Chains A and B, each alone.
Chain A
């Protein structure tokens, strides 16, 4: 069965520090991978998605970047965190199909920038 791992679960970082959140998927090949952000009490915002190694699409301009160094690894990074980067970050995967399919989510990382 497929599983998705996301870590760390919580993170407190000072303003200006770098960020690296990692997400890995097991039990599937060539998944679509996604990073979402959720501010407290808000909806989900799609930040990045990837359809293959080294292929990253950004949905919104921001202080963050994403990379996919391996088929089942998706990394969210920042060189210098801002206070506004605080939020709940969710990684997700979906099967690579020609039509839509459900996405499966990790348990999320709660990032607090202080």
Chain B
């Protein structure tokens, strides 16, 4: 659904701890998912993606998990660093290449 009217949820973690950011989606036709990181005043930047034929994908310090049964997506950041502080968005592609719908976003704050 639309995320425009919702305030961003927040997550605070200690430096060095692992972070888990969650995202729920509603469209069972969605077949491609992306996590973006947005720093203040900048455009979102790609972190990692996953297609619906997978349930887990790993990158450098990040892991995305996809649970299609409950329509849930999560981003795990290992050994969180101060530079990870940002707003994180999940985005879903609802079939076809012509659209990308974003979740509410979560503001991650890393405490030194």
Q: Which residues of A contact B (CB under 8 A)?
A: 6, 32, 34, 36-37, 39, 41-46, 49, 51, 57, 59, 90, 92, 94-108, 110
Contact = CB atoms under 8 A, between A and B. Distances in A.
Contacts of A59: 99
Interface residues on B, range: 20 to 34
A102 B101 CA distance: 11
Chain B interface main SS type: loop
Contact of B5 (A32, A42, A49): A42
A42 B97 contact: no
Contacts, number: 90
Contacts of B101: 46
Given A43-B8, A100-B32, 10 more contacts: A39-B4, A49-B98, A99-B32, A99-B51, A99-B93, A102-B46, A104-B46, A105-B43, A105-B45, A108-B42
